């Protein structure tokens, strides 16, 4: 696609198998904090363009957008919403009192909240 995309790396990223060096992957690294041009496929997957000119596929948690077309931003915001929903569901499963809101039964936002007695502390 020809849409202009600019990203900032949140973490340094290398090819998935750096312990198996391949000549075509030499110099393929995107450094944390640096800005890079990027490209996308029709599904919204992002590849950063490394300093050697090669494309390295990156995961949504590894970068943030500086500039991107609206359709790409929408696709990634939908991904982020799904990820956050899964994270919330996992936190609800970990709730000790079963209320689904708190992680600790003595949390003041819990509907079942009661202060601990000296014997319980």
- Provide the pairing of β-strand 55-58 with 5-9: unpaired
Mean pLDDT calculated for residue range 6-25: 80
Cβ atoms 36, 29 nearer than 8 A = no
Highest mean pLDDT among 49-53, 70-74, 102-106, 107-111: 49-53
Q: Tell how strand 63-67 and strand 46-49 pair up.
A: unpaired
Domains of the chain, CATH where assigned: 5-68 (2.30.30)
**Model confidence, pTM:** 0.61
For the beta carbon of residue 57, count every other beta carbon within 10 angstroms: 13
């Amino acid at each position: 696609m020809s849409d202009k995309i600019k990203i900032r790396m949140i973490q340094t990223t290398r090819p998935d198998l750096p312990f198996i060096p391949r000549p075509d992957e030499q110099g393929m690294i995107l450094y944390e904090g640096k800005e890079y041009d990027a490209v996308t496929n029709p599904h919204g997957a992002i590849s950063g363009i490394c300093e050697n000119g090669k494309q390295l596929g990156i995961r949504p948690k590894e970068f943030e957008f500086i500039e991107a077309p609206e359709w790409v931003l929408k696709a990634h915001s939908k991904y982020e919403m799904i990820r956050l929903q899964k994270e919330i569901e996992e936190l609800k499963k970990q709730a000790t009192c079963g209320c689904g809101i708190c992680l600790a039964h003595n949390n003041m936002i819990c509907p079942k909240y009661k202060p601990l007695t000296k014997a319980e502390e």
